[in-house]
Amino acid sequence: MSAATAIVTGASQGIGQATALRLARDFGQLVLVARNREHLERTAAAVQAQGATAHIVDCDLAESTSASQVIAQTLSAFGRLDALLNIAGAVPQIDLFEMTDEQWDAGLALKLHGARRLTIAAWDALRQSQGAVVFTSGNSALFPKAPYAAVGTINAAIVALAKAFSDRGITDGVQVNSVLPGPVMTGRRRSYLERWAPLHDMTAAEAMERFPREAGIARYGQPEEIAELMAFLVSPAARWMTGAMLRMDGGEVKSV
């Protein structure tokens, strides 16, 4: 019997990369998906240094043909699929009254529809292995705000989509959950703050200190912390957990 296999999307950086490295301890075979092949190769090297086998698929999941391509390559390379972690997708943070239809469509295409198509394409293989799926949303799903309308709206849709898949998964033996990270210090967030700070007469360090304070948290999260939660959700210990929405945000959401 071949080793367990997981697909990690968005594996070139941030939470996706951290999750791939964490899963290399639990899965013998990983399929790493993202658009940037050079960055994927770095992740693959780190995965293989931990003893797992890595297969790279550099594609844009916003394109409708990519999902079938990822699954075909996964089954060709490894013959099975046990876990799918949908992590890819950055949504533009643009005010509700300023976003164009094209920007809305771009935000939806990768994070929502890319994950939806990939999960559907993977379903038969996951049903055979009695596998697990994780969708990545964000805690903005719980408090959408006008300056970040698309982020909150799309994240809320992902939570609902994951819940719908979990309902089918009860019958088919596929476990499905969603994760809602709060503010995590990824390379993308650091770059944003470094651009934002001088426009507001701040240093990057001052900006990085300001935002957690305004969010009412002690510090930013780290990608590795979210990766631990992802790993738990696709582990035997979480097998009876399905249809759940798990927040990990340092206490940013104050409501019950």
Instruction: Specify the CATH class of 5-182+223-248 in words.
Output: alpha beta
Helix (H, G, I), strand (E, B) or coil at 164: helix
pLDDT, the chain, mean: 95
pLDDT, tens only, 96-153? 999 999 999 999 999 999 999 999 999 999 999 999 999 999 999 999 899 888 999 9
| Cβ-based burial of 10 (10 A; exposed 0-12, middle 13-18, buried ≥19) | buried
The CA distance from 152 to 148, in Å, is 7
Whether pTM exceeds 0.85: yes
Question: For residue 1, is pLDDT > 60?
Answer: no
Where, residue-wise, is CATH 3.40.50.720 in the chain?
5-182+223-248
